């Protein structure tokens, strides 16, 4: 009787481990179908020691990173807590304010609701990756010159959204810029100056 219970318990343990490992793979497969540019990427590998963890690999600001992290880790947490890239801010934590915006495979995303698993095999750009050799990116320069910020908390997200916009649309109209920035809130209400900054950045980048 004891042997039968032991065998049943072992089967249950193996079954549960297989289920969790399969769940991690399924999460990666779903992510690959949803995140642009990740469809052909290598899916994250579930940790053999703990199926609640997976190994993720991605480029952040041009540098490769590989880490074993809990499956529930958001991209925001990974950037701020694991990589210490704190320029990306956590505001609402529910995809409403845009303070956490980064660029993933060429598109602006809310990193607070994007799992780090979803970025596996991807290319992430954060505010820290814009300046080169201590020279501000033209978008950063435009925000400074046109006072496109007040408290500054939302500014990194505003700039990253602006970067994604100007990369795909170098010469937007003001209405197109407003629409692109609609997902980024500024609690100080510096919207007029933010729009001026984006339009000025467009001119600088085309000069």
Residues 113 and 191 in one domain: no
pLDDT bin (cut points 50, 70, 90) of residue 74 is very high
| Mean per-residue pLDDT of the chain | 85
Domain that holds residue 10: 2-129
Q: Is the pTM of this model over 0.75?
A: yes
Q: Are 142 and 200 in contact (CB under 8 A)?
A: yes
Residues 20 and 107 in one domain: yes
C-alpha 45/C-alpha 197 separation (Å) is 42
pLDDT at 12 over 50: no
Residues 121 and 166 in one domain: no
200 contact partners, CB below 8 Å, separation of at least 6 = 142, 145, 146
Q: Among 129, 164, 180, which residue terminates a domain? A: 129
Percent of the chain at pLDDT > 70 equals: 76
* Rounded-to-10 torsion of CA 182, 180, 136, 132: 130
C-alpha 165/C-alpha 72 separation (Å) is 29
Residues 17 and 36 in one domain: yes
Residue 110 sits in a domain whose CATH number is: 3.10.20.30
Average pLDDT score over residue span 127-152: 96
Residues 115 and 142 in one domain: no
The predicted structure's pLDDT at residue 48: 64
In eight-state DSSP terms, residue 117 is G
Q: Residue 127's Cα: distance from chain center in Å?
A: 11
Q: Among 80, 95, 129, which residue terminates a domain? A: 129
| Residues 148-165 pLDDT 10s | 999 999 999 999 999 999
Domain count, the chain: 2
């Amino acid at each position: 009787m004891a042997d039968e219970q032991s065998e049943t318990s072992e089967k249950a343990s193996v079954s549960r481990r297989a289920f969790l490992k399969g769940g991690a793979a399924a999460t990666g497969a779903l992510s690959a179908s949803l995140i642009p540019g990740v469809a052909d990427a290598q899916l994250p590998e579930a940790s053999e020691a703990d199926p609640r963890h997976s190994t993720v690999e991605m480029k952040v600001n041009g540098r490769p990173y590989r880490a074993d992290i809990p499956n529930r880790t958001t991209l925001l947490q990974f950037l701020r807590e694991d990589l210490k890239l704190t320029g990306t801010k956590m505001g609402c934590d529910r995809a409403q304010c845009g303070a956490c915006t980064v660029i993933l495979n060429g598109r602006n995303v809310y990193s607070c609701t994007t799992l780090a698993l979803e970025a596996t095999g991807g290319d992430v750009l954060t505010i820290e990756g814009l300046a080169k050799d201590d020279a501000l990116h033209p978008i950063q320069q435009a925000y400074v010159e046109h006072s496109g910020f007040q408290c500054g908390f939302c500014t990194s997200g505003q700039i990253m959204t602006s970067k994604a916009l100007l990369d795909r649309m170098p010469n937007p109209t003001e209405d197109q810029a407003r629409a692109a920035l609609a997902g980024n809130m500024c609690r100080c209400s510096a919207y007029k100056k933010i729009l001026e900054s984006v339009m000025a950045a467009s001119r600088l980048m085309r000069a």
